[in-house]
Structure 1
Amino acid sequence: MTKEKLILHNNLKTVRTQQKLSQSKLAEMVGVSRQTISNIETGEFVPTARLALLLCLALDKKFEDLFYF
């Protein structure tokens, strides 16, 4: 049996732009750099559980609304 590598994808950019938030503003809201938000949106960085939760709270979304496999 082989293990499949699960990659966490996200709808962060879509949700962020729908709420008219800049990367900088969202970064400020959750305590990270603008570059971190950019890297999450492009899939270059997978957020920690804590950061994913903060993003959900900041955007008033459920985890499954922002992230998926």
Structure 2
Amino acid sequence: MENTLRSHREAHGLSQGALAEHVGVTRQTINAIERDRYDPSAELVFALAAFFECRVEELFAPDIDLDVTASDLD
């Protein structure tokens, strides 16, 4: 999953540790997300979006092709 977490964090003048503390995870978790080594849980994705007061889509974008139509699911 591609993300812009680092740019949002830096724009707010936060260290990885400070952001981690605000959303209740470790600094290592924030580091792993920023380096695309860990896909966060839905709960953490929403917590980060709420913290930055932005839409989830502004922070995270799937790196898969989502060209699926309703007829594909039948």
TM-score if structure 1 supplies the norm length?
Answer: 0.86
| 1:35-54 correspondence runs (5 A) | 35-54=28-47
Q: How many residues are treated as equivalent by the alignment? A: 62
Counting aligned pairs with the same residue, the percent is 40
Which structure has the higher relative contact order (CA within 8 Å, separation 6+)?
1
- Determine if the alignment matches structure 1 residue 30 to structure 2 residue 23: yes
- Once superposed, which parts of structure 1, at least 4 consecutive aligned residues long, lie more than 3 Å away? none
What's the C-alpha RMSD, in Å, of the aligned pairs? 0.6
The structure having more radius of gyration, on CA atoms, is: 2
What is the deviation of 1:26? 0.5
Unaligned regions of 5+ residues in structure 2, if any?
63-74
Unaligned regions of 5+ residues in structure 1, if any?
1-7
TM-score if structure 2 supplies the norm length?
Answer: 0.81
2:48 and 2:23 map into 1 onto residues whose CA distance is: 7
